Structure 1
Amino acid sequence: MTKILLLGGTGDALRIARQLTSVDVYSLAGLGKVPDDLPCSVRVGGFGGSEGMARYIADEEIGLVIDATHPYAAQISANAVNAARHAGVPCWVLRRPAWQPRAGDDWRMIDGWDELTMALAPFRRPLFTLGREPLSHLDEIPPHQFWLVRCLDSHEDTERARIIAARGPFTLEGERALFALQHVDVVVSKNSGGSATEAKLEVARERRLPVVMLRRPSLPAADREFESVAELLDALHLSR
């Protein structure tokens, strides 16, 4: 049986991990909760770049690498493709489709933090859903702004920011309540795709609020690419 190395850390990856076997390995960067109820082994920590991952693939006799990391985990995705190629094994990638703007949406596309800062200048109560990056900029909050930052990391609130440690999926009702209670006037988001965190976009649409959207990074081509967990699992079952 082909031994699989699954690179994860997302809800989609966890769904795949639950379909693996005892010979397979689910690899996490170590951020967030580590599952203890999977049929496969769980590995926590980095590999030391693509070369380190290639050595791990060879040493552990991995026959297939599956990248189911976040769409913005550009470095690990690049390492996975390069390591698999160097080790001579296939690399499959789960890349869920990006969200697309709908009628009534006001999306303002950006490529990095400097552009983000300029895009947020007219607003007072932004909701950040970018992960932990805003936590390193809490001392840069403009005098007229109060930030609401939602991420996986616990962090103390400040006089100018409230930090919400939470993991999706988020409901439409819950997002409506959050926006109303916190007087959100702009949403800051990655274009992650999927349904788990999409409700914030629906609420922004309802309230006619702009969304400052970070463009997806360019990712290297893999041997096979899948848009859904079901599609990938079907191919996996056929290959085994």
Structure 2
Amino acid sequence: MKRVLLLGGTGDALAIARGLSATHVYSLAGLARVPDDLACAVRVGGFGGVDGLVAYLGAERIGLVVDATHPYAAQMSRHAREACAIANVPLWAVRRPEWQAQTGDDWREARDWRGVVERIAEFHRPLFTLGREPLAHLDEIPASQHWTIRCLDAHPGNARATIVDARGPFTPEGERALFDAARIDVVISKNSGGRATEAKLAVARERGMPVVMLARPELPDADRAFDDASSARDALTQLNHET
């Protein structure tokens, strides 16, 4: 049986982790909620770059790495690819498909933070669903705007920003209530894919509201890639039966 290192922090990763035995390791960067009901070992914290990950793979006798990090955690995915190549350890990855624009959607792509700011300049009540990044820009909010920022953890706002700490999955009903209460007129989102946070897009569509969509970073290739957690979990089960 190959010892698996699962790089996680997403719902997909947690679904895979629930099927792992005590032999294997579920690794979290430290920003996500740490589960306490898993059979596998849970490791929290960074590895110290590529060199640190290579050392960890050797010390812990890891035989397979599964990258199920967030689609925007590009640096961790690149480190995993480089470390696995150096250590000669296979790398599997869960690459969740992007959302696709539907009839009625008004999506406006941005490549980076500067592009986001440019695309929301005409609006007054933006909803940011980019995680923590907007928190670094609270002192840059124009006088014409009030930001609503949704992220995982509580954080103080200011006179021009309201911080909402919440975790998905989100429902259309809940999103409508938030949009109404905060008087949202534009949504800023990562193209994360999956169902847990998709409701905001449906509500924006039904209201004819624009969505500024932050483009995905380019991710490295993997030895084997899966579209969803269930496919990766099934492949791991088969692998354990074969080894």
Partner of 2:96 in structure 1? 96
Partner of 1:71 in structure 2? 71
Report how many residues are paired: 240
Runs of at least 5 residues in structure 1 that lack an aligned partner in the other structure:
none
Amino acid across the alignment from 1:75: Q
Partner of 1:178 in structure 2? 178
Percentage of pairs with the same residue = 62
SS where residue 184 of structure 1 aligns?
coil
TM superposition score normalised by structure 1:
0.99
Bigger shift: 149-158 or 220-229?
149-158
Amino acid across the alignment from 1:148: T
Inter-partner Cα distance in structure 2 for 1:180 and 1:165: 17
SS where residue 96 of structure 2 aligns?
coil
Partner of 2:3 in structure 1? 3
Is structure 2 residue 194 aligned with structure 1 residue 194?
Answer: yes
SS where residue 150 of structure 1 aligns?
strand
Partner of 2:216 in structure 1? 216
CA shift, 1:182, in A, is: 1.1
CA shift, 1:89, in A, is: 1.1
Q: Alpha-carbon deviations, 1:76-128, whole Å to 9, x = none?
A: 00111111111111000001100000001110001111111110100000000
Inter-partner Cα distance in structure 2 for 1:7 and 1:89: 14
CA shift, 1:158, in A, is: 1.1
Q: Alpha-carbon deviations, 1:190-225, whole Å to 9, x = none?
A: 000000000000000011000000000001101000
Inter-partner Cα distance in structure 2 for 1:116 and 1:157: 20
SS where residue 184 of structure 2 aligns?
coil
Bigger shift: 78-87 or 194-203?
78-87
CA shift, 1:153, in A, is: 2.1
Inter-partner Cα distance in structure 2 for 1:219 and 1:181: 37
Is structure 2 residue 165 aligned with structure 1 residue 165?
Answer: yes
Inter-partner Cα distance in structure 2 for 1:26 and 1:209: 39
Partner of 1:226 in structure 2? 226
Amino acid across the alignment from 1:85: A
Partner of 1:131 in structure 2? 131
Amino acid across the alignment from 1:69: T
Is structure 2 residue 15 aligned with structure 1 residue 15?
Answer: yes
Partner of 1:29 in structure 2? 29
Extract structure 1 runs of 4+ deviating beyond 6 A: none
Inter-partner Cα distance in structure 1 for 2:113 and 2:204: 21
CA shift, 1:168, in A, is: 0.4
Amino acid across the alignment from 2:109: M
CA shift, 1:35, in A, is: 1.0
Inter-partner Cα distance in structure 1 for 2:156 and 2:72: 26
Q: How does 1:112-131 map to 2 (within 5 A)?
A: 112-131=112-131
Amino acid across the alignment from 1:164: V
TM superposition score normalised by structure 2:
0.97
Q: Alpha-carbon deviations, 1:16-57, whole Å to 9, x = none?
A: 001001010000001132111110001111001111101100
The alignment's C-alpha RMSD in Å is: 0.7
Partner of 1:239 in structure 2? 239
Q: Alpha-carbon deviations, 1:110-149, whole Å to 9, x = none?
A: 1111111110100000000000000000000000000000
Amino acid across the alignment from 1:66: V
Amino acid across the alignment from 2:133: E
Bigger shift: 134-143 or 31-40?
31-40
SS where residue 81 of structure 2 aligns?
helix
SS where residue 225 of structure 2 aligns?
strand
CA shift, 1:234, in A, is: 1.4
Inter-partner Cα distance in structure 2 for 1:33 and 1:224: 27
